[in-house]
Structure 1
Amino acid sequence: MKERVLLVGGGGREHAIARALADTTVYGFSSNRNPGIDSLAETVHLGSETDTDAIVDFATEVDATVAMIGPEASLAAGVVDALEDAGVYAFGPPAEMARLETDKAYQREFMAEQGIDARPAFETFGNPEPAIDYLESVDGDVAVKPRGLTGGKGVRVTGDQLSKTEATVYIRESDYKEWVIEERLVGEEFTVQAFVANDTVRPTLAVQDHKRAYEGDEGPNTGGMGSYSDTGPVLPFMTREEYEAAVEILEETVEALGDYRGVLYGQFMLTSEGPKVIEYNVRFGDPEAMNTLPVLETDFLDVLTAARNGSSLPALEFSGQATVCKYAVPSGYPVDPDAGAKITVEVNEATETDRYYASVDEQEDGLYTTTSRSFAVLGRGESIVKAESRAEAALVDVGEGFHIRHDIGTDELVESRIDHMETIRGM
């Protein structure tokens, strides 16, 4: 019987997943209409991605044989638990294990209890005032994190994004009540995503995401402005040993978790002492899924079915191409985004570029921006430089009303990362 895959989520990450599953029958369930997923799926049902009953009903209606859950909010809501109760295998962790991402205090306490040492010093607080008192008393710069999900936009780092005085104002004026304050890690950030099931951990390529809104890593944090990967698993600013150390941390984490399944994403800071965990995610990153899945030559469906069938996951093969992903977002994003700009960009797959839709408004005469990230363009090539030039060429026709970080993947920016790590290692 041909597999029937339920895909939950409607963003750029899920568009990349749908493309990776294009040779099977995909049924989408999402809160928004994504034209890229629409073109690949048998049908798409619109609904809340945290409505477990509606998702189970749809999975039963389409006779889904396996499910892939994209958004972290769905995992936190217990979609995997509900599907499992209904007899549908979902490649993702149950809600209790999803706390590794959704609860930052739990995440750090878990690492401490399990002896996973690749972490900063930290303290947790159940309400704002003790957090402010601690922040004002501690020496050195810190990362200030709301305990729960923030869409990648809630963390503030003193000595980088704001002063300690501004951080106390942030805590006091925020709607968040519970906080984690931890030692600021200094180095270069990178991520490694691993496919995990049945005591198998299959790591993928290292990727560097760019959270800051403006070129030169300036401005507020975003959901992610773009990312790049190299022709192999290692990024230019790291050694093979440092990559392997990050993989070992993921393997140690999986062993501590027990029967984990799904994607385990480690966001690391490469420091003078090696990689340290900034945070875990329990699903694909966005945009990191777009760097990973298009160059994955192993059939992603084989990963899902092996996980479901209790088998070891297949070894992963990649194309050997570098990738550069750049997001086009509405002007003013993320602070004061302007919606309503028309999307006119076309891509030609013969030039080894792909487009992934995220949040768009489909009208009779075309696609328009909303107030969230609009679409991403991915360039692939025999080097980061070549991949970057292809991504840029595909964005040349972007009109008014968009913002793009054009520096992502450029030779100048990559060289600055290499220089930075040489300085860090010499400290």
Structure 2
Amino acid sequence: MSETVLIVGSGAREHAIALALARSAQQPALVCFSNALNPGIASLCLEYGIGRITDPEAVAAFAREHEATLAVIGPEAPLAAGVADALMSVGVPVVGPTRSLARIESSKGFARDLLAKYKIPGNPFFRRFTSMDGLEEVLNVYANRHVIKDDGLAGGKGVKVCGDHLLSIDDSLAFARELVEHGHPFVVEEKIEGEEFSLMSFCDGVTLKHMPAVQDHKRAYNGDKGPNTGGMGTYTDADHKLPFLNGKDITEAQEMNRRVAAALAQECGAPYRGVLYGGFMATRDGVKLIEYNARFGDPESLNLLTLLQTDFVEICRAIVGGTLAEVDVRFSDRASVCKYVVPEGYPETPRKGDEVQLPEELPTNAKIFLSAVDVQQGKLIATGSRAVAVIGIGDNISEAEAVCEQVVREIPGPFFHRTDIGTDSVIAGRVDHMKRLRSA
């Protein structure tokens, strides 16, 4: 039976998903339901619908109309809204968890409580709040080492860190008060020191197949300065680890994903089927959890799906069918660097409406993924968020970074990118940082 695969979402992540599906030997028909036009995705699809991707009935109706036999949900918001539940109710299997299981991302407090209840190591100190009651006492105990997180989804921008965004107890109280006034529960956590990394796993509810480790760069400007963003770029290494991690770090993160998947099945009474994405911190005391996500990361998925060698349709079928143990999931032993090109003023006051001119020719070891762009009068136009992502591939990170940077610099206009992602000096600094921490 030929597959008709529904993709939900409109960003570069979904463009990467579409390209990975289109590479399959099974040659599936692709359809997309999205909240905006992505010309890269549209060029690969037979049908492209635009609507509210958080409207479960609308997505399910589109899937039925186009006789989808499988669905892959890209972003977190549709998962939290129950889009997977709606698709499954009309007989469409989904790579992506139900609303209940997606709480691992949609509620930071749920994730922390799950680790605590099932005695899974990796939690720092945390406390959940729905009001200001008792907050000041906790902040005083962790005066210069706390993080405040909006409990719900905030597009990567609901977290404020003491010393970076919060420069005094008054700042922390003001941010918490703002969350309370908007009716948002929040979590206060102990600030942990180390190096962040992402480790994602394909999961069919029982079996996990782990992907290479990735490092994301959330801050807008070089040197990890400026406001948080959805992610300015990422890199992977040829050995599927990262230069500042050791084998024990990777093993601990993989084991945490395995135990969390098992805990979710027990807690929710159903298997977790999709991508389980752990955001971790390597510390001198082992790996700690920063947060869980219930889907592919963006930009991490751009690196990983570019390096994926196994047929992606085969993987998706195994996830929804519970047969992932039978699939040999392989990734290329190459390094990759991703950098996002974003409008001036991003993320707070981004320019909109500027033309995005892509290079006419790309090196064979580079790829471009379209994100927040539209087509107007035959031209690509930036719509205000991350516009395009460039991936460079190489035998090592340094080589991949040089390829990526060369292509990014060929994109003119009122845009910027982080030039430091994947550079030798930045990576050497991260390696030194971990050496100092581990020897302290």
On whether the aligned pair clears a TM of 0.5, the verdict is yes
Aligned-partner residue type, residue 108 of structure 1: R
Q: For residues 184 and 319 of structure 2, what CA distance do their matches in structure 1 show? A: 38
Equivalences for residues 70-149 of structure 1 within 5 A: 70-128=74-132, 130-132=134-136, 134-149=138-153
Q: For residues 121 and 271 of structure 1, what CA distance do their matches in structure 2 show? A: 15
Q: For residues 162 and 180 of structure 1, what CA distance do their matches in structure 2 show? A: 15
Q: For residues 204 and 29 of structure 1, what CA distance do their matches in structure 2 show? A: 27
Tell me the residue number matched to 1:375. Answer: 388
Contact 2:39–2:374 under 8 Å retained in 1: no
Find the residue that maps to 1:37 and give its secondary structure: helix
Contact 2:273–2:320 under 8 Å retained in 1: no
Contact 1:197–1:261 under 8 Å retained in 2: yes
Find the residue that maps to 2:289 and give its secondary structure: strand
Tell me the residue number matched to 1:424. Answer: 437
Superposed CA offset, 1:163-212 (max 9, x none): 23322222223445311000001000000010000411000000000000
Shift of 1:132: 4.6
Tell me the residue number matched to 2:353. Answer: 340
Equivalences for residues 347-358 of structure 1 within 5 A: 348-358=361-371
Tell me the residue number matched to 1:225. Answer: 232
Q: For residues 177 and 306 of structure 1, what CA distance do their matches in structure 2 show? A: 37
Shift of 1:332: 0.8
Q: For residues 132 and 65 of structure 1, what CA distance do their matches in structure 2 show? A: 52
Contact 1:331–1:337 under 8 Å retained in 2: yes
Mapped pair 1:297 → 2:304: no
Q: For residues 209 and 403 of structure 1, what CA distance do their matches in structure 2 show? A: 17
Structure 1 unaligned blocks of 5 or more: none
Q: For residues 233 and 360 of structure 2, what CA distance do their matches in structure 1 show? A: 17
Find the residue that maps to 1:95 and give its secondary structure: coil
Tell me the residue number matched to 1:182. Answer: 189
Mapped pair 1:199 → 2:206: yes
Find the residue that maps to 2:380 and give its secondary structure: strand
Mapped pair 1:7 → 2:14: no
TM-score, length basis structure 2: 0.94
Contact 2:142–2:190 under 8 Å retained in 1: no
Shift of 1:315: 2.1
Shift of 1:127: 2.0
Shift of 1:225: 0.3
Tell me the residue number matched to 1:286. Answer: 298
Tell me the residue number matched to 2:268. Answer: none
Q: For residues 49 and 385 of structure 2, what CA distance do their matches in structure 1 show? A: 21
Shift of 1:55: 0.8
Shift of 1:369: 1.3
Tell me the residue number matched to 1:64. Answer: 68
* TM-aligned CA distance change 1:245 to 1:208, over 3 Å: same
Shift of 1:335: 1.5
Q: For residues 369 and 17 of structure 2, what CA distance do their matches in structure 1 show? A: 10
Find the residue that maps to 1:67 and give its secondary structure: strand
TM-score, length basis structure 1: 0.97
Shift of 1:137: 4.9
Structure 2 unaligned blocks of 5 or more: 266-270
Find the residue that maps to 1:324 and give its secondary structure: strand
Mapped pair 1:159 → 2:163: yes
Equivalences for residues 348-427 of structure 1 within 5 A: 348-427=361-440
Tell me the residue number matched to 1:20. Answer: 20
Find the residue that maps to 1:55 and give its secondary structure: helix
Q: For residues 157 and 263 of structure 2, what CA distance do their matches in structure 1 show? A: 28
Aligned-partner residue type, residue 161 of structure 2: V
Q: For residues 342 and 143 of structure 2, what CA distance do their matches in structure 1 show? A: 38
Q: For residues 12 and 288 of structure 2, what CA distance do their matches in structure 1 show? A: 28
Contact 2:356–2:413 under 8 Å retained in 1: no
Query: Among 30, 36, 47, which residue is 1:32 paired with?
Result: 36
* TM-aligned CA distance change 1:342 to 1:237, over 3 Å: same
Tell me the residue number matched to 1:310. Answer: 322
Q: For residues 246 and 310 of structure 2, what CA distance do their matches in structure 1 show? A: 25
Give the number of equivalent residue pairs: 427
Aligned-partner residue type, residue 175 of structure 2: Y
Contact 1:197–1:260 under 8 Å retained in 2: yes
* TM-aligned CA distance change 1:145 to 1:153, over 3 Å: same
Shift of 1:358: 1.0
Q: For residues 173 and 150 of structure 2, what CA distance do their matches in structure 1 show? A: 13
Q: For residues 13 and 360 of structure 2, what CA distance do their matches in structure 1 show? A: 18
Contact 1:330–1:338 under 8 Å retained in 2: yes
Q: For residues 81 and 347 of structure 1, what CA distance do their matches in structure 2 show? A: 42
Q: For residues 132 and 101 of structure 1, what CA distance do their matches in structure 2 show? A: 26
Find the residue that maps to 2:402 and give its secondary structure: helix
Q: For residues 183 and 244 of structure 2, what CA distance do their matches in structure 1 show? A: 36
Aligned-CA RMSD value: 1.4
Mapped pair 1:276 → 2:288: yes
Q: For residues 362 and 413 of structure 2, what CA distance do their matches in structure 1 show? A: 24
Aligned-partner residue type, residue 130 of structure 2: G
Q: For residues 67 and 80 of structure 1, what CA distance do their matches in structure 2 show? A: 9
Superposed CA offset, 1:197-256 (max 9, x none): 041100000000000010000111100000000012210111122111110111111111
The 10-residue stretch of structure 1 (53-62 or 125-134) with the greater mean CA deviation from structure 2: 125-134
Contact 1:7–1:70 under 8 Å retained in 2: yes
Tell me the residue number matched to 1:48. Answer: 52
